[in-house]
Amino acid sequence: KFLFFNQINLRLILVSGKTKEFLFSPNDSAADIAKHVYDNWPMDWEEEQVSSPNILRLIYQGRFLHGNVTLGALKLPFGKTTVMHLVARETLPEPNSQGQRNREKTGESNCCVIL
């Protein structure tokens, strides 16, 4: 499979486990990606179709990406596939609030539960 040297290959995984790969530029933001995926929704994802691109959220390495974060800012590698989760969610968790509470309860900080 040919990958352009200046593009980033993202494999997006839905909660259902279905995956699809897309090519993006390093200048594309999380909001741009959500809009592109919404506008080009894969046919085999029909059951998971959402009503608006504004509720699509990307999760990378256990963290929600805010809409203005670009792929370049994440320093993702060219020519390799990067895996992210794609979920439908109205709002993002407050930065650190949830993690802080979990840390106080368990003493650990690297736990991610997706419902």
> Quick one: pLDDT band at residue 100, thresholds 50, 70, 90?
very low
pLDDT score of 101 more than 70: no
Using alpha carbons, select from 109, 101, 87 the residue that is nearest to residue 30: 87
> Full-prediction pTM beyond 0.85?
no
User: Could you tell me the CATH number of the domain that includes residue 66?
Assistant: 3.10.20.90
Q: Is residue 24 part of a domain?
A: yes
Domain count, the chain: 1
Range of the domain at 19: 8-88
How far CA 28 is from CA of 45, 49, 83, in Å, comes to 22, 22, 16
Q: Is 82 a member of any domain?
A: yes
In order of 1, 27, 34, 105, the CA distances from 9 in angstroms are 11, 13, 15, 38
Q: Does residue 114 belong to any structural domain of this protein? A: no
Q: Give domain status of residue 83, yes or no.
A: yes
